[in-house]
């Protein structure tokens, strides 16, 4: 029996735990190891198929079919689990583009494997190109105004020190913790979404 | 997570639902797979061996054309449990029986066992009997701990419950004019929380 043979049925469960934990709790290395181990189990199964072929003449072909069928089902299952895992991670990354913005926090990036980082970069680029191509001259930022705007200016309070912030009309506002400002909504919406400012409504 | 991805290849819920075990009897010898049954000493699985398999595996081995294993119904879908469900569906803990009671149940219908029509009927009746209570509790629990309300619900019912809660909360926020306030993204907020945890500890 080749090594790692028994793992080919248990592997799927590991992938599925990701639903109960947080799908993003796995680091990039874990993901790569997971892919590698499933691929290894696939090549093990192919090895077993070849063994079967050799012994088929001895035991008669009909009897071996059932084993092949079972292993094939396990293989397909592992493939499905792995693909579903990767797909759901990608969905998560896609969502992050909209929630965190185009730059991800370092800890999140640390949990992505290299291919995912590349994918995120390409997604970013595609989204930016698309937003530039619509809505006339200057393009249109789709990540703005997720809720219908009511006023042009809004009152905000700083939740943390963020340093200087240059507004469109050239003024420089120092965003210091607990200070309040009256800013153009379109300019500070993304800062609110990132949790740096708090929107004050009366 | 949603209801409509029932047969989606990438749906984690669907994978989990088809993961549950069904009791099977081996009908044809399975060579060199003896280790699947931990109580089995031999190298092969002989015909007549009883073994619990995950649904997806049993599905591949038992169908119209092949009959490598024969499938029995899991206990919670047998007549005894069906009777309990008919008596009063609202008190049964489907999460303990399930967690994907309906989804797994409807998957089981694909094995053409003689009980199939009864199972499908009992699933439908159980759902009809329970939905009213679920809807009622999800529409009336505002700012409350809902764990008690949802602990007996199957995963599908939990999705429905959550949808009801979401609707209620959105409506309340609209009524109190809170919808216009811009807020921090949920992911950012969760990320901060998680980050703060280890530093404090």
Across residues B30-45, what is the average pLDDT? 77
Nearest to B182 among A13, A69, A199 (CB): A199
Please report the pLDDT score of residue A63 as a whole number: 65
In the structure, what pLDDT confidence band is assigned to residue B123 with cuts at 50, 70 and 90?
very high
Please report the pLDDT score of residue A4 as a whole number: 33
Q: What contacts B181, CB < 8 A, 6 or more positions away?
A: A199, A201
Please report the pLDDT score of residue B121 as a whole number: 93
User: Quick one: closest CA in B to A156, which residue?
Assistant: B182
Query: Which residues are bridge partners to B24 per DSSP?
Result: B51, B71
Total domains in the fold of chain B: 1
- Is B56 within a domain? no
Please name the fold of domain A7-132.
Methane Monooxygenase Hydroxylase; Chain G, domain 1 (1.20.58)
In the structure, what pLDDT confidence band is assigned to residue B1 with cuts at 50, 70 and 90?
very low
pLDDT one digit per residue (tens) for chain A, 202 residues = 233 333 344 445 555 555 544 556 566 667 777 777 777 777 776 766 666 666 655 555 556 778 778 888 888 888 888 888 888 888 888 988 988 888 888 888 888 888 889 999 999 999 999 999 988 887 888 888 888 888 889 999 999 888 888 888 888 889 999 999 999 988 888 888 888 899 988 7
Contact B196, B189 (CB under 8 A): no
DSSP string covering A62-127, please?
Answer: HHHHHHHHHHHHHHHHHHHHHHHHHHHHHHHHHHHHHHH-SS--HHHHHTS-HHHHHHHHHHHHHH
Please report the pLDDT score of residue B201 as a whole number: 36
In the structure, what pLDDT confidence band is assigned to residue B171 with cuts at 50, 70 and 90?
very high
ipTM of the complex as predicted: 0.83
DSSP character at residue A147:
S
Contact B100, B16 (CB under 8 A): yes
CA distance A164 to A174: 4
Nearest to A73 among B29, B32, B57 (CB): B57
Q: What contacts A145, CB < 8 A, 6 or more positions away?
A: A186, A189
B160-169, pLDDT tens digit by residue?
999 999 999 9
In chain A, where does the domain assigned CATH 1.20.58.1030 lie? 7-132
Query: Residue B168 belongs to what domain range?
Result: 12-20+74-175
Residue B137 belongs to domain with CATH number: 1.20.58.2050
* CA dist B190 → A27, A164, B136 (Å): 18, 26, 30
- Is B144 within a domain? yes
**Residue contact B57–A74, C-beta within 8 A:** yes
B52-99, pLDDT tens digit by residue?
888 988 998 887 777 888 898 998 899 999 999 989 988 889 888 878
CA distance B102 to B108: 10
- % pLDDT > 70, chain B: 94
- Is B99 within a domain? yes
In the structure, what pLDDT confidence band is assigned to residue B200 with cuts at 50, 70 and 90?
very low
- Is B159 within a domain? yes
- Is B142 within a domain? yes
In chain A, where does the domain assigned CATH 3.40.5 lie? 153-200
**Residue contact B185–A147, C-beta within 8 A:** no
Please report the pLDDT score of residue A66 as a whole number: 80
A153-200: CATH architecture: 3-Layer(aba) Sandwich (3.40)
Q: What angle do CA A160, A165, A169 make, to 5 degrees?
A: 145
Q: What angle do CA B128, B129, B135 make, to 5 degrees?
A: 80
Please report the pLDDT score of residue A2 as a whole number: 32
A and B: number of Cβ contacts within 8 A: 112
Please report the pLDDT score of residue A11 as a whole number: 46
Which residues in chain A touch residue B24, judged by CB atoms under 8 angstroms apart? none
A41-99, pLDDT tens digit by residue?
777 767 666 666 666 555 555 567 787 788 888 888 888 888 888 888 888 889 889 88
Report the gap between the CA of A50 and the closest CA in chain B (Å). 14
């Amino acid at each position: 029996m080749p090594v790692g043979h028994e793992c080919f049925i248990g592997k799927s469960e590991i992938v599925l735990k990701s639903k109960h934990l947080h799908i993003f709790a796995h680091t990039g290395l874990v993901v790569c190891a997971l892919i590698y181990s499933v691929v290894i189990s696939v090549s093990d199964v192919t090895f077993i198929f070849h063994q079967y072929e050799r012994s088929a003449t001895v035991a008669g072909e009909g009897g071996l079919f059932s084993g092949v069928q079972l292993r094939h089902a396990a293989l397909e299952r592992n493939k499905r689990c792995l693909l579903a895992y990767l797909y759901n991670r990608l969905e998560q990354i896609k969502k992050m583009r909209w929630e965190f913005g185009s730059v991800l926090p370092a800890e999140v990036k640390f949990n992505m494997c290299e291919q995912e980082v590349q994918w995120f970069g390409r997604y970013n680029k595609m989204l930016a190109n698309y937003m530039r191509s619509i809505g006339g001259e200057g393009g249109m930022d789709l990540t703005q105004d997720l809720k219908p705007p009511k006023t042009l200016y809004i009152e905000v309070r700083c939740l943390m020190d963020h340093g200087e912030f240059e507004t469109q009309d050239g003024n420089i506002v120092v965003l210091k913790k607990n200070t309040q400002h009256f800013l153009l909504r379109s300019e500070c919406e993304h800062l609110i979404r990132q949790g740096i400012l708090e929107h004050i409504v009366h | 997570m949603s209801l409509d991805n029932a047969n989606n290849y990438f749906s984690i819920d669907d994978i989990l639902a088809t993961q549950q075990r069904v009791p099977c009897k081996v009908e044809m010898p399975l060579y060199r797979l003896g280790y699947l049954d931990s109580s089995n000493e031999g190298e092969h699985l002989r015909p007549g061996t009883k073994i619990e398999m995950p649904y997806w595996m049993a599905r591949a081995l038992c169908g119209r054309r092949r009959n490598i294993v024969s499938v029995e119904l899991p206990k919670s879908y047998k007549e005894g449990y069906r009777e309990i469900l008919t008596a009063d569906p609202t008190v049964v803990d489907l999460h303990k029986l399930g967690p994907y009671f309906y989804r797994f149940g409807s998957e089981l219908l694909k094995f053409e066992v003689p009980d199939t029509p009864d199972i499908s009927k009992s699933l439908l009746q159980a759902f009809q009997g329970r939905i009213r209570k679920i809807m009622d509790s999800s529409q009336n629990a505002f700012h409350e701990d809902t764990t008690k309300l949802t602990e007996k619900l199957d995963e599908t019912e939990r999705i429905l419950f959550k949808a009801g809660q979401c609707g209620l909360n959105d409506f309340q926020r609209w009524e109190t004019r809170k919808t216009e306030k811009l807020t921090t993204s949920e992911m950012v907020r969760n990320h901060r929380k998680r980050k703060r945890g280890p530093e404090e500890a």
